[in-house]
Structure 1
């Protein structure tokens, strides 16, 4: 069932993936109006929304997804027919030291949105499934961890979250599924692998490495650095989300992965090699690598099988990993220089 958003509420649209998706929609859906709801916590910034393409179709609202009165007002004022739900607490280390915020935002916030949409779309507007859509953005971490020999996660993999963050995202996934099966709310869910690219928060893995190289400070690597992640460039992720939003089957989950498994230590060394060329005065940057005590509940390996998305909707990631990493480094270095002016 194809869907074309007219008035779309993007939650968390001032964060990393959200702001990139805002740009992607403005560039690719010429008639769509965006209402961007973000609480502007540590992970969101209005700077991420500067220089938007066609900003006349983008309207920013500062607010909390748990604020039911605000959500109800936005749905009605703007006749929202589509929600793309990015807003989430997402940093594993923060979830270990302060899990309560993750339960509130990721579980209660998702419930608030679902219930508001159900009442507005189904009870008040009497819209059918072709007229509205709730797209929930999740993560591969809900599936738990893999050994080196295990096959990649498919959409049928059992849930086995290992951190308060991934447990809260798993709970939100289950709520979305329940609203489809109980109320026939028109939902789709996408579970993505690790993203990288412009506008990522500085505390995340790749920005941390780049910043350490720039500042000539130790690069912290958990354990022995052999943990494996599947890396996906944020523009490819946004293209996958839009493909599912337009053409995904209702009630279905689609994995969006990079087919690009890398050990953490290999990512560190790649960035160091690229930084050696970009900022040779600090070379060799590998001398900055510092192994630190592993974090609790550190999953060994994530890997996503995105063949369902490719087969059904024709999505594929662009295979230019080193070029994308170099572009990310240059963007982050430029952003850091501008911030220091």
Structure 2
């Protein structure tokens, strides 16, 4: 059995679903079910004995200790995190608690459990920490992509909290010998992504005939990674990654935000045309977010060289799959767009009208 934290969120749920499609090894899934955690993401696993769900907090040491003792997982895959930059600007405390204190609690519980193992059980145990490219800071237009050796320069409360968690994971390996692995990924997109992030927000708003808010001049560049490719990379790192190493996971798809929005609009014009006119008419420029990093780009050559992983999807194939999924799952979108979600969107974007 493996223990997955945050397995009801966007990337975690995709990982759990992919894992159980490819393997009969059970998953112990721990999630606090905060606003972005959603059991509807896992509806297809209802009644599947290979999936054991526990509603709980990674900061709850007694719970974590009990789960290790009862289920004896061979590995931890740690997704659980607060992950939205805008939310971290409005409320950084939640990010410090979950991303820093939660990772510390999980590391200490894993270390305590691992220290009791013997022989082969101890040799095969792994703690895989899933992180972000945002810890590396911002790139200029002609700078080389982030390599694993790039110095950390986090610029938001979110990225600072993730950088802190990365440092804790590294320290627990070098000080205590805990067998850890770290992945730093670029911007994910795909099914089940909560519609506060760029791509699902644009899809949901466009279908509803609402404004498509674009920060600043829309030229902030990100490297886009289809979530299914990310899940495949994590499986490879868990299986064959070198202990204590970091692996950058990217899609080799650098694109400015405005191009992403226009691509979404063009595909919706094709797949779900609006009688009122092209969806691009809804693009609205709003005041930029504070400290908005200009460019991220991932150098993913190390994971290809050592583990043979490359993304299977281009941006063109991945974004078409993504939009098709959202069009086919409008009930899911409606359910996650609760009153609290609408209040958040108004709070974050209503003040930025420009």
Q: Fold match, TM over 0.5?
A: yes
CA distance in 1, matches of 2:313, 2:35: 32
Q: 1:313 Cα deviation (Å)?
A: 0.5
Query: Is 1:330 paired with 2:324?
Result: yes
| TM-score normalised by the chain length of structure 1 | 0.95
Query: Is 1:119 paired with 2:141?
Result: no
SS of 2:329's partner is: helix
Match of 2:351 in 1: none
Match of residue 255, structure 2, among 253, 262, 269? 262
Match of 1:44 in 2: 37
Distance 1:209 1:188, change over 3 A: same
Q: 1:109 Cα deviation (Å)?
A: 0.3
Q: 1:322 Cα deviation (Å)?
A: 1.7
Residues 142 and 166 in structure 1, CA contact (< 8 A), matched pair in contact too: yes
Q: 1:83 Cα deviation (Å)?
A: 0.4
Match of 1:4 in 2: none
Residues 26 and 54 in structure 1, CA contact (< 8 A), matched pair in contact too: no
SS of 2:124's partner is: coil
Distance 1:107 1:82, change over 3 A: same
What aligned pairs does 1:62-77 form with structure 2 within 5 A after superposition? 62-77=55-70
CA distance in 2, matches of 1:337, 1:237: 26
Match of residue 291, structure 2, among 271, 294, 297? 297
Unmatched runs of 5 consecutive residues or more in structure 2 = 336-354
Distance 1:173 1:49, change over 3 A: same
Residues 63 and 70 in structure 1, CA contact (< 8 A), matched pair in contact too: yes
Q: 1:52 Cα deviation (Å)?
A: 3.2
Match of residue 81, structure 1, among 74, 82, 94? 74
Residues 59 and 102 in structure 2, CA contact (< 8 A), matched pair in contact too: yes
Q: 1:127 Cα deviation (Å)?
A: 5.4
Query: Over aligned residue pairs, what C-alpha RMSD do you find?
Result: 1.5
* Over 3 Å off, 4+ runs: 126-129, 337-341
Residues 121 and 127 in structure 1, CA contact (< 8 A), matched pair in contact too: no
SS of 2:45's partner is: coil
Residues 40 and 332 in structure 2, CA contact (< 8 A), matched pair in contact too: no
CA distance in 1, matches of 2:182, 2:281: 42
Paired residues, what number? Answer: 333
Q: 1:53 Cα deviation (Å)?
A: 9.4
Match of 1:172 in 2: 165
Q: 1:95 Cα deviation (Å)?
A: 0.3
Match of 2:308 in 1: 314
| TM-score normalised by the chain length of structure 2 | 0.91
Match of residue 145, structure 2, among 148, 152, 155? 152
Residues 27 and 53 in structure 1, CA contact (< 8 A), matched pair in contact too: no
Q: 1:333 Cα deviation (Å)?
A: 2.4
Distance 1:58 1:338, change over 3 A: closer
Q: Deviations over 1:148-178 (max 9, x none)?
A: 1000000000000000000000000000000
CA distance in 2, matches of 1:339, 1:230: 25
Q: Deviations over 1:115-159 (max 9, x none)?
A: 00111111x224565220000000000000001100000000000
CA distance in 1, matches of 2:333, 2:286: 29
What aligned pairs does 1:204-283 form with structure 2 within 5 A after superposition? 204-282=197-275, 283=277
CA distance in 1, matches of 2:314, 2:198: 20
Distance 1:48 1:220, change over 3 A: same
Match of 1:18 in 2: 12
Residues 186 and 224 in structure 2, CA contact (< 8 A), matched pair in contact too: yes
Distance 1:340 1:163, change over 3 A: closer
Match of 1:181 in 2: 174
The 10-residue stretch of structure 1 (54-63 or 283-292) with the greater mean CA deviation from structure 2: 54-63
